[in-house]
Amino acid sequence: MAKIGLLATLEVCKGTRAFWSPSPERKGLINMKSLMPVIAIAMLSLANPSAWAASRTKRVIITYKPGTSQMSCDKTLAKLGGKSLAAVVGEDNGVRKFVATVAEIPSDSELDRRRSASAQVLGDWVPGVEDLAASDGVLAVEEDYRIKWIESAPVSFHNMPLPNGSLETLGLGKFQKISVAHVPQRDEIRWGVRKVMAPSVWDVTQGAGVKVAVIDTGIYWKHPDLEGQVAGGFNAITEDIDPESYLDDNEPGHGTHVAGIIAAKRNGKGVVGVAPQARLYAVKVLDGEGNGSLSDVIKGIIWAANNKMQVVNMSLGTPMPSPAMEEAVRYTKSRDVVIVAAAGNSCVSAGDPTACKEGSGAVLYPAAYPQTIAVSASTWDKDSQITGFSSRGPEVDFIAPGNDIVSTIKGDKYDSLGSLSGTSMSAPHVTGLATLAVSLGYRGLEGPDGVLNKLKTAARTLPKVASDHQGSGFLDARKLVD
């Protein structure tokens, strides 16, 4: 995520409720500090029951066991008295490997009647869902919440009083708005691409033909450095494949900036990406403000898997785990798709970039899932320290350039460039390198011929950076072709 704040937060404090037991399958031990923002939101919601009731959502995601038929899904929904809004299905050789329904559940449904007061704290198990799962093949039921995935802003509490303190005392910290530094035209190889040594291997591979999905705000494919680089796409919000539908409408163009880092043209103008001959696909799951629903993000992941993408970049995140998203990520991995995800910008610096204030700094989701490659952010200086804002933890796999990264933004000229900072910028550097690895014959995430293993062989440990801040270390593209 671009460094425009500290963590993904609830857009309108809708009383997000999760009807599942938190999954123990995380890359490392679950860190309690990752729950602090969520607990704070829940505390504030409980402080005003009337506000909670007024904001109660009825939109949910029901995730089923693999192989569940559509008829069974329909029966379950009928039992809940719900209405289907969308079916999200991932198939492999005709077998339904990922099955979910986005639905609207009325307030007097069976599920709502079973909701207990304790369920108002995020992550609690709701009595009765066990029975539903046993008889109907349901894995999980969760709210289809809507948040800001790439821009952090103060949580909107609808003027609810803060219990005994401020945002800072709750571990939510201070927030900043994005500032984009427009940069002059010069050498197209910018520091991040040069630092990972990508130009050194372009005589061997530039990632030609590898299909790379950018799950984000869309891509402004009219930019001259991206024109002809975007081979297709999908708007998960409108379920449209018209090119205009996945055009980036974010300011300054978050998905466009990410896309440029991965695969901007190599033509001596503007900027060049790590893998300039890759085939980009714009998967728009967020609106122009960076907001999006959980279900739209999941639709984007499933679209990428179903359409045989080889590498996926997800420069977005949430502090809240999701069973549906985890299942979607697991299914995508099973299709030999490599997901690279931004670790997050959740660290509130304690005055030293190596330390975060208590309650901040945890890796966000989906990067925290073991089926992804999680990337933290490094500085541009010679020693490549971790940035003060970068999330860190045992889930991190690699560290990559994430400070003052120049890339494409919305605009119709080569000098439509901007400088952004964040793990949103770090992830696409690794995505580009993963693309180069795929072009060399490596497939899928794991195994001896997997992309992750190959990337690990190309990594070097940064001596002044803690192991859980950098994972296997900083990547050197030259080692991919050794």
Tokens of 121: 């704290």
Burial of residue 165, with CB atoms counted within 10 A of its CB: 0-12 exposed, 13-18 middle, 19 or more buried: exposed
Nearest to 430 by CA among 393, 410, 405: 405
Distance from C-alpha of 300 to C-alpha of 480, rounded to nearest angstrom: 29
Confidence at residue 440, expressed as pLDDT on a 0 to 100 scale:
97
**Closest listed residue to residue 376, CA positions, set 472, 290, 272, 245:** 472
Question: Residue 467 has what pLDDT?
Answer: 95
Residue 155 one-letter amino acid: V
What is the gyration radius of the CA atoms in the chain, in angstroms? 21
216 in active site: yes
The CA distances from residue 318 to 147, 166, 286, 289, 315, in Å, are 8, 22, 13, 15, 11
Catalytic residue, from 424, 426, 439, 472: name it: 424
The answer to whether the peptide bond before residue 366 is cis (omega within 30 degrees of 0) is yes
Q: pLDDT tens for the chain, 482 residues: list them.
A: 654 332 232 222 233 334 433 344 445 444 444 444 444 444 434 344 444 344 354 799 999 999 999 999 999 998 888 899 999 999 999 999 999 999 998 765 555 555 543 343 333 434 345 556 555 789 999 999 999 999 542 222 222 233 333 333 323 232 233 445 555 556 899 999 999 999 999 999 999 999 999 999 999 999 999 999 999 999 999 999 999 999 999 999 999 999 999 999 999 999 999 999 999 999 999 999 999 999 999 999 999 999 999 999 999 999 999 999 999 999 999 999 999 999 999 999 877 778 999 989 999 999 999 999 999 999 987 778 999 999 999 999 999 999 999 999 999 999 999 999 999 999 999 999 999 999 999 999 999 999 999 999 999 999 989 999 999 999 999 999 98
Query: pLDDT value at position 149?
Result: 95
Kindly name the residue from 254, 257, 429, 469 that is annotated as catalytic.
254
Fold of 9-148: Alpha-Beta Plaits (3.30.70)
Tell me which of 124, 216, 336, 397 is the catalytic residue: 216
Is the Cβ–Cβ distance between 338 and 311 less than 8 Å? yes
254 is annotated as an active-site residue: yes
**Beta-bridge mates of residue 297:** none
Q: Please give the CATH topology (third level) of the domain spanning 181-480.
A: Rossmann fold (3.40.50)
Domains in the chain: boundaries: 9-148, 181-480
Which amino acid, 366? Answer: P
Flag whether the pTM goes above 0.85. no
How many C-beta atoms lie closer than 10 Å to residue 104's C-beta? 17
